[in-house]
Amino acid sequence: MTRYGMAIDLSRCQGCRACVEACKIENNTPSAVFWMHVFRLEQGEYPNTSISFLPRPCQHCNNAPCVKVCPVGARFKRDDGLVLTDFDRCIGCRYCEVACPYGVNFFNWRDPEAAFADYQVPFDDPALVPVTGGAIPPYKNPDLEELHGEEQRLTAGSAHFKGVMEKCTFCVQRVEKNLAPACVQNCPVGALQFGDIEDDRSPVSQFIKDKKQFKLLEDLGTDPSVVYVGGTPPASDAHEIERPLTKVEA
């Protein structure tokens, strides 16, 4: 049985955010929504400071608090390890968001059109429209409208409608085609790996073999599917410098 997991080599990550961009384009997330996020952390007191980067996708926990608390079973875990959200069933109570220790959840506060308007890109530019067919955003991914998995639920992509939750899906629409998630595919330095973590011979298992590993917030017992190598967990005095634009106005 395939059990998907991700490995992240912190010694390779250089903070370029190609993974963040790739995720945005593949999953059509609107402004201020970062399914993949890369922390830029500084620790220590100036001038004795050090900088580190920490990519943080959804951890797709094996003992996921978000799955446990969902009142209607919209957030669920698949046998292949992916934790997904059924946008047709979600009632927008945001309990998964408060239960998640990693802060990976996003709520659709606005209608999709209003959410994309923040990009301040003329999606309805008459020169663009014949090419894109008026799609908003212009790079709209058709795979996201389909039902996925044996369970046939609407679980891929972002901003389908207001009032529901969403988060990183390990690119469920790509995984089904045996492709790696967009972030993994686009990392220029190969810091991200993805595959069957139960198979010793898979690239992702080989990637972390014999290396010192850690998982984020391991003590909480969430048992994440994301493994980090080549670094250490964020120090207690680490704080974020350089933040993405995340203001959302009505």
Residues 72 and 79: their CA atoms lie apart, in Å, by: 19
Which member of 56, 60, 148, 174 binds another protein (CB under 8 A)?
A: 56
Piece of the chain touching another protein by CB under 8 A; list 9-17, 86-94, 175-183, 190-198: 86-94
Residue 192's φ and ψ, nearest 5 degrees, are -110, 135
Provide the minimum distance between the beta carbon of 177 and another protein in the complex, in angstroms, as a whole number: 20
Residues 179 and 26: their CA atoms lie apart, in Å, by: 12
The interface mask with another protein, positions 98-117, x = CB under 8 A, is xxxxxxxxxxxxxx--x---
Please, is 221 exposed, middle or buried when counting C-beta atoms within 10 Å of its C-beta (0-12, 13-18, 19+)?
exposed
**Neighbouring-strand partners of residue 5:** 195
By the rule CB under 8 A, 10 interacts with another protein: no
Question: Cβ neighbours of residue 150 under 8 Å, at least 6 residues apart?
Answer: none
Piece of the chain touching another protein by CB under 8 A; list 8-16, 148-156, 179-187, 191-199: 148-156
By the rule CB under 8 A, 218 interacts with another protein: no
By the rule CB under 8 A, 95 interacts with another protein: yes
Q: CB–CB of 27/169 below 8 Å?
A: yes
Q: Which is nearer to another protein, 89 or 128 (CB)?
A: 89
Question: Cβ neighbours of residue 103 under 8 Å, at least 6 residues apart?
Answer: none
By the rule CB under 8 A, 1 interacts with another protein: no
Piece of the chain touching another protein by CB under 8 A; list 84-92, 130-138, 178-186, 205-213: 84-92
Residues 248 and 162: their CA atoms lie apart, in Å, by: 14
Piece of the chain touching another protein by CB under 8 A; list 183-191, 193-201, 202-210, 234-242: 234-242
Residues 66 and 180: their CA atoms lie apart, in Å, by: 24
**Alpha-carbon torsion (63, 173, 18, 133), positive or negative:** negative
The interface mask with another protein, positions 31-50, x = CB under 8 A, is -x-x--x-x-x---------
By the rule CB under 8 A, 193 interacts with another protein: no
User: Which structure tokens are listed for 232?
Assistant: 């250490």
Residues that bind another protein (CB under 8 A): 32, 34, 37, 39, 41, 56, 62-65, 67-79, 86, 89-95, 97-111, 114, 149-151, 162-165, 216-217, 220-222, 234, 236, 238-240, 243-244, 246, 248-250
